[in-house]
Chains A and B, each alone.
Chain A
Amino acid sequence: MRSIPFSSYIVRFLFAFAMIGSLTACGSGERETQRAARDGILLFGNGSEPKGIDPHLVTGVPENKIISALVEGLVSYHPTSDLESSPGMAERWESNADFTVWTFYLRDAKWTNGDPVRAQDFVYSWQRILSPELGAEYAPMLYVIKNAEAFNTGGLKDFSQVGVKALDDKTLQVTLGGSTSYFPLMLQHYSFFPVNPRAVEEHGGMTDRQSGWSTFDNYVGNGPFRLKQWVTNQVIEVERNPDYWDAKTVKLNGIRFFPIDNINAEETMFRNDRLHITNQVFPDKIPVFAEKMPEQLRNDPYLGTYFYRINVTRKPFNDPRVRRALALSLDKKLLVEKVTKGGQAPATGYVPTGIPGYEASTAVSFRPDEARRLLAEAGYPGGKGFPKTEIMINTSEAHRKVAEAVQELWRRELGIEIGIYNQEWKVYLDNQSSLNFDLSRSGWIADYAHPSTFVDMFTTGNGNNDTGWSSARYDALIEAARRAGSEEERVRLMHDAEEVLLNEMPIVPIYWYTRVYLLDTKVKGWYPKLLDNHPYKHVWLEPDASEAGK
């Protein structure tokens, strides 16, 4: 007997009652989502208040969601796939045979202050984000460009030696440090976005971090939408930009971005018909939504890996056998089905599935017997004598639950006791980067759809390595991949590097992400995207016919 039916009746009753309540608009007239749909306004749950909307200074997802409505880079998001780029400010582009020199041909487009968008604007913008004085955190994204790193870290003072040049007003030539066939994919990232030089110069200049150009009053963009309203902690509203080059494609009249960091508040608002789309869904409720409102629950693949970093400088984790034992003893299928519940895939490798041409590794399957054998070989048979160690997590209900389950699974399979150490975000970051942990909860979301965004970070001394792990062979493979003549060769080298990583196991891969959220059925043209980049200009709203008369 698992549960008495009575309580489950209560549950169903409560939930059904709440559902009926939220679906029938009794007395209060037309629902907000319906009215907005008629007005062509998308109501968007956007996580948290943006820390800014200057594309060169922000680092977060909510910021990205707003900026991608306001500014357009050389390329734009493809309507249905994050594996290709659509034309943006550049009408077309070409590269030389080994993908080191790229030429972009710009279209006639305007900034919201009336200036034409010129190739020089991109040179200015990339100089700005790479200027050491600006201190842009995402500047390393541009290191793919020749000499960009040297300029950004202060070694090179002369920007003309960096590989970006305006051949004329409409032609931009970019020289890369190495062969990079996926450069147009990288260009989707907001760190490559242009800023309007005149606006920046008028409000503090190129390298002023607190430059006023990106405030509500002074903002200048070139994207499909422009700012209409900004109430802190409440709403940021954008409206259709009539001067956008592709304005005829844009179907929405506007988008309201609501910063809601509390997951339950967001869900309540969605069910209260105040949002068309949520940022997330509480994991335990996913099965309920799947049953009660399947047409509104979205579960899209998402290019990211959830894993635990292992500090290989600490005993007993300096022994690769111990690390392998941890990784092989985890029943990840059970974990994703019973704990995370969002349809995530158990990670059998580090680089997630979904990147065309790159087959995900299957090296880390569930092999508890082998794990126990490895642990015994390392000197801890049945977990005896295993020192007291901890999983460090940052404060979050979801991470806590995963860690509690992992703790129990390791206890069961290996007989080892591992504690959990819940840390507030900033302390957690400090501890992680100073290797002050045993095991650390981590996640990595791709910046662009290519394995390099994952494998590059575990090279020796990389700022994002954070495990103390170092392998000459791995470094050599990554370096070779960077110089590879063909895409096939590059991918093969990266694959080899991943196998080295998974053999040494400085990380315990747990699952590959999915994006789970609620989406109103009135929203159309919203496709599953691997990187969750949704081009708003292709999205439209259809009011419910049944409600139209109200």
Chain B
Amino acid sequence: MPPPISAAEIADEALVEGSSLWKDAWSRLRKNRLAVGSLFTFIFIVLFCIVGPWISPWEANTQDLFLGATGPSAQHWFGTDTLGRDLMVRVMYGGRISLLVGLVATLVALSIGVIYGATAGYVGGRTDSAMMRFVDLLYAIPFTIFVILLMVAFGRSLWLMFVAIGAVEWLSMARIVRSGVIGLKKQEFVEAAVSLGYSHRRIILRHLIPNVLGPVIVIATLTVPAVMLLEAFLSFLGLGVQPPDASWGVLINEGQQNMEIYPWLLIWPAAFFATTLFCLNFIGDGLRDALDPKSAKD
């Protein structure tokens, strides 16, 4: 008969287990060549967008109307747009905006979704079902109408736009966290923490949320591209970023209209956009494979 283990030991074990889980996950992730390649490409794109404008001699909004749209050249590596602005710098700035939209909206979605889902799952019972019915309710509102009305009302500010998009994207997050928490709740270390009289807040934040972080990170890497696509859709409707700034979505929409006569206006932003989405999706899939405890049996 093994020696009795104290509740505190069990409770803390979960935290230790957490770190080795990450180590295992990383070693598994490294085996996935596609995911690793995607990760490096993504980092490169992010650096390109952040550092690029400091190095480039051109300004994103400075026009040369006499020049107009020209193809890639020694001065303008990506070419220029119809108002004679350097496309490379615009793609870099556009990337900053699009990635920021993706990141901030995802963080908003993440915070709402995780806290909401964890609370619902942890409290359980009637509160849980009421909270989840509310999520069902939001699911059933037609997304297009909802987003357009929000954009019309808040379109003025980029930050409100992030928040509005985030406020729409948290639903799946909440569902996944909730089901994760419900699974964990019955496990020993949570029961141990409860018996130790830890506060609900501490249990949710210290014990439950860290243990559902795996699926949450996966969902997050998949939410970023979803948000970026949504932003692109809003740009198609003309409801995106305020001019003269442009996100990738705006640039792609502009390029799409000119694709036959000035193909570079579509190719460059679309290439960056698609590559980023590709990478994020593969990173997400790779993380899912890596963090899935069952695949440890391989």
Complex contact A404–B244 (CB within 8 A): yes
Complex contact A422–B242 (CB within 8 A): yes
User: Does A351 reach chain B (CB closer than 8 Å)?
Assistant: no
User: Does A96 reach chain B (CB closer than 8 Å)?
Assistant: no
B134 to chain A, nearest CB (A): 29
Complex contact B73–A408 (CB within 8 A): no
A421 CB contact (under 8 Å) in B66, B242, B256: B242
Given A18-B260, A263-B257, A264-B257, verify A8-B82 contact (CB < 8 Å): no
Complex contact B82–A1 (CB within 8 A): no
Q: Which residues of B contact A422 (CB under 8 A)?
A: 155, 238, 242-243
A10 CB contact (under 8 Å) in B83, B152, B258, B263: B263
Q: Which of A57-65, A218-226, A395-403, A490-498 contacts B (4 or more CB under 8 A)?
A: A395-403
Complex contact A4–B83 (CB within 8 A): no
Q: Report how many residues on chain B are interfacial, defined by Cβ distance under 8 Å.
A: 37
CA of A6 to CA of B73, assembled, Å: 10
Q: Which residue of chain B has the shortest Cβ distance to A338 in the bound complex? A: B65
Complex contact B242–A420 (CB within 8 A): yes
User: Does A97 reach chain B (CB closer than 8 Å)?
Assistant: no
Q: Report how many residues on chain A are interfacial, defined by Cβ distance under 8 Å.
A: 41
Q: C-beta contact mask, A378-419 vs B, less than 8 Å → 1, else 0?
A: 000000000000000101110011011101100000000001
Q: C-beta contact mask, B46-66 vs A, less than 8 Å → 1, else 0?
A: 000000000000000111011
User: Does A339 reach chain B (CB closer than 8 Å)?
Assistant: yes
Complex contact B73–A284 (CB within 8 A): no
Q: C-beta contact mask, A1-31 vs B, less than 8 Å → 1, else 0?
A: 1111011101100110010000000000000
Q: C-beta contact mask, A325-361 vs B, less than 8 Å → 1, else 0?
A: 0000000001100110000000000000000000000
Complex contact A7–B242 (CB within 8 A): no
User: Does A476 reach chain B (CB closer than 8 Å)?
Assistant: no
Interface residues in B241-270 by Cβ distance below 8 A to A read 242-244, 253-254, 256-258, 260-264
Q: Which residues of A contact B155 (CB under 8 A)?
A: 422-424
Q: Which residues of A contact B258 (CB under 8 A)?
A: 282, 284-285
B278 to chain A, nearest CB (A): 24
Q: Which residue of chain B has the shortest Cβ distance to A403 in the bound complex? A: B243
Complex contact A4–B238 (CB within 8 A): no
Q: Which residue of chain A has the shortest Cβ distance to B63 in the bound complex? A: A408
Q: Which residues of A contact B79 (CB under 8 A)?
A: 3, 7
CA of A396 to CA of B152, assembled, Å: 15
A6 CB contact (under 8 Å) in B63, B67, B71, B82: B71
Interface centre among A3, A397, A421, A427 (most CB of B within 10 A): A3
Q: Can you report 14 A-B residue pairs in the complex whose CB atoms are below 8 A from each other?
A: A3-B70, A10-B263, A14-B263, A18-B260, A282-B258, A284-B69, A284-B257, A400-B243, A403-B243, A405-B63, A408-B83, A424-B239, A426-B152, A427-B152
Given A11-B71, A424-B152, 19 more pairs with CB closer than 8 A: A2-B70, A3-B70, A3-B71, A11-B260, A14-B260, A18-B260, A264-B256, A338-B66, A393-B243, A395-B239, A404-B243, A405-B83, A408-B62, A408-B63, A408-B65, A408-B83, A419-B242, A423-B155, A427-B152
Interface residues of B (CB under 8 A from A): 61-63, 65-75, 79, 82-83, 151-152, 155-156, 237-239, 242-244, 253-254, 256-258, 260-264
Interface residues of A (CB under 8 A from B): 1-4, 6-8, 10-11, 14-15, 18, 263-264, 282, 284-285, 288, 334-335, 338-339, 393, 395-397, 400-401, 403-405, 407-408, 419-424, 426-427
